[in-house]
Structure 1
């Protein structure tokens, strides 16, 4: 038996690791992922106030929120740069190193955002600083999701990769739920003037202690069995981006990742970032009922994530991902028709419909980021494809949805963008997405 096979066989036994080790791994990955999405959650929930705080006071409410969401989208343009920086670090120096850097950057930028002076205090410097911090957050996020995917799935038992991957999707949903209830508490406990003046800053400042906890836990971990096997066999890549660019198979895997990540990213930003603004600004609901409705729908989505993981472990990644994407094509407009009724039961039902589709595409997205790429270039290739999809398709989603409502006056208009993106991606997946759930993730020989 070769040394490569020996290392691979030895490393692929994470099921025999202790329960404490598996728990520490899950918590370390989960808390960083939670932080990333908690930031996006609170930004979405307070988008209107942020727009009013950091942009001229004479702006209309629509212009203010469009400005705020534009800054939100700008952070996504930095995600590919984060992929270029943190992806190769994960391949050359270990998955753990990349995750430690991402949690430091994300936590620091989010905390400082909560301390920024307003436009009334410093003028044009306020939005400039806001954009700068969003860029740092985007850089950090460029390595977090794909890095978390690599760390968690590479540490999972081979027949439970989908279930373990569901933790990443689930902690993202949990972050939005916690964010919604933090926003609910702030809006309930404080007057509207207090919220607009300083109350919105509270959850941003809370990012610092969360970051410190996440950093402490991640520093205590070792690296994944896959990366340890690469070190044992001298297979760690010294130029993973260059190696990815030279391989047609790897480039094709990057393009496939761009396709399914565009759908998955757009779905979660619709569910978690845009939806609350749609309920308040488009439907005219009060902020607290809107937060409760979106939070309820997200809680049900979170429960569906491990179910989707078990389905993918039983039946593979390809079919659930295709079914979820097709679901967005067929069910997005009906879901927004349910929102349009204004009835709380129908609104939650609409969120659950979109959440079922999202659970299928999100959980399979996480595990596909690992299984599509060879071990030595996995962090770089998956981060690049994933973040390009989020930067150019998914990230602008909330802004495009808001602009569509403003331009057309139709409460169904936001669904059109989700339908079009899913409709473009669906035939690509049907034709080219391979089945990957039986692949050896220790191998350097495969790509899509």
Structure 2
């Protein structure tokens, strides 16, 4: 065992890591969600031309789901190396993968130009995006919570969580600006590419920030204590499978409902409710702003009263709000739609605020990157990947929003029940493993 133990991070270092986690994650989610906006607005005619608009929309959302399929693969690969060589280097790689794929999508010729090669290339680039974001979440939240002071773990862990709505806001504001600056025909033809190409400048900013921060103290401690493992993913599956299973189930509702509200609703509002695209984009921006603030609020509450009660309250709210949500949305009244979005995103934020620290605390430092990444990404696939497609198909089958509301409620119930099997403790995220009397969020038996 090494005698060299890393010193505690300074307040300045902690703030730098929190800022880098928020800004870097915002940029990655911007890249990820401009794809979602484009899938809802222009990808069907550009890459999946068909005489049936519904078929084209389903195909466009299917490529959206491809990114989710790649996410656990990215989580496994980057989790392995994040637990073997460090968190920081994987965060740099995840941002580079996401940035290159996003810019290439902005340069990709459409179906009319290169035929079937266009949708094939689009799917491949979406897969690369998924690999990048699959390794992003685990690394960003671990850097935040492992640098955090003990009494502010949930708040620090919420900074990368707040990057998600911030990325949505940025993506939709750029789409609003571009769609207002060019004619509708020009936007459909080439204007939609501008948000993708802007990613090049954003990635440069994000990489600059990430290269300036140091390595996680928890990883350095595990390395100094020689507790690193050669096969972290295998160890997670063999020794922490209960934690992985329950954390994955608990992580289903928040991403799924987020994508339903802030991706599917764009398509639903424009195609079903026949509202102007600009109106729906602004409603999503405002709903995301509520979501961002509410994540910070729920994280502060989690640091005071515990992560589990805050998470359970969020899951219960989204379950109970599912049917009122669509009753308000289906009025096609922008004010009532905003109310539906605001309450819905507060419920999602109730889960997202404590989620990062909750999941990270399930695993010792030597396998934490792998465990946290797998849990979050599996939950995202089971919930978020298929949510827009399922919602589109449910509406096509029934002609009403009732089945979609039932689907939303069911997702909330799944996460609520899964979390009931976890109990809170006081696990030390500064060290490589928990002591026998210092265990947090172990599955109940």
TM-score of the superposed pair, with normalisation by structure 1: 0.93
Aligned to 2:183: 191
How far the C-alpha of 1:348 sits from its partner, in A, is: 0.8
CA distance in 1 between counterparts of 2:94 and 2:244 reads 21
Please state if 1:319 is matched with 2:312. no
Q: Determine which of 46, 53, 58 is the counterpart of 2:46.
A: 53
Aligned to 2:380: 390
Deviations 1:13-39 (A, max 9, x none): 44xx143x3332123222321122112
Q: Determine which of 396, 407, 421 is the counterpart of 2:411.
A: 421
CA distance in 1 between counterparts of 2:72 and 2:172 reads 28
CA distance in 2 between counterparts of 1:322 and 1:3 reads 42
How far the C-alpha of 1:284 sits from its partner, in A, is: 1.2
- Report the CA distance shift for 1:356/1:287 in structure 2 as closer, same or farther (over 3 A): same
SS in 1 for 2:42: helix
CA distance in 2 between counterparts of 1:424 and 1:305 reads 21
Aligned to 2:422: 433
Aligned to 1:107: 99
Asked whether the equivalents of residues 79 and 141 of structure 1 are also in contact (C-alpha less than 8 Å), the reply is: yes
Please state if 1:139 is matched with 2:131. yes
Asked whether the equivalents of residues 320 and 364 of structure 1 are also in contact (C-alpha less than 8 Å), the reply is: yes
Structure 2, gaps ≥5 residues long: none
SS in 2 for 1:373: coil
**1:309-388, aligned counterparts within 5 Å?**
309-388=299-378
Asked whether the equivalents of residues 250 and 418 of structure 2 are also in contact (C-alpha less than 8 Å), the reply is: no
How far the C-alpha of 1:370 sits from its partner, in A, is: 1.3
Asked whether the equivalents of residues 32 and 144 of structure 1 are also in contact (C-alpha less than 8 Å), the reply is: no
Report the count of equivalent residues.
435
CA distance in 1 between counterparts of 2:223 and 2:414 reads 40
Deviations 1:93-135 (A, max 9, x none): 1110111110010010011011101000111000000000011
Q: Determine which of 6, 24, 40 is the counterpart of 2:32.
A: 40
Aligned to 2:154: 162
CA distance in 2 between counterparts of 1:296 and 1:245 reads 40
| RMSD across aligned positions (CA) | 1.7
Asked whether the equivalents of residues 291 and 342 of structure 2 are also in contact (C-alpha less than 8 Å), the reply is: yes
How far the C-alpha of 1:443 sits from its partner, in A, is: 4.1
CA distance in 1 between counterparts of 2:26 and 2:339 reads 25
Asked whether the equivalents of residues 244 and 371 of structure 2 are also in contact (C-alpha less than 8 Å), the reply is: yes
| More displaced stretch, 91-100 vs 211-220 | 211-220
SS in 1 for 2:258: helix
CA distance in 2 between counterparts of 1:306 and 1:74 reads 30
Structure 1 runs (4+) deviating above 6 angstroms are none
CA distance in 2 between counterparts of 1:188 and 1:412 reads 34
Please state if 1:266 is matched with 2:256. yes
TM-score of the superposed pair, with normalisation by structure 2: 0.94
SS in 1 for 2:109: coil
Asked whether the equivalents of residues 34 and 172 of structure 1 are also in contact (C-alpha less than 8 Å), the reply is: yes
CA distance in 1 between counterparts of 2:158 and 2:76 reads 25
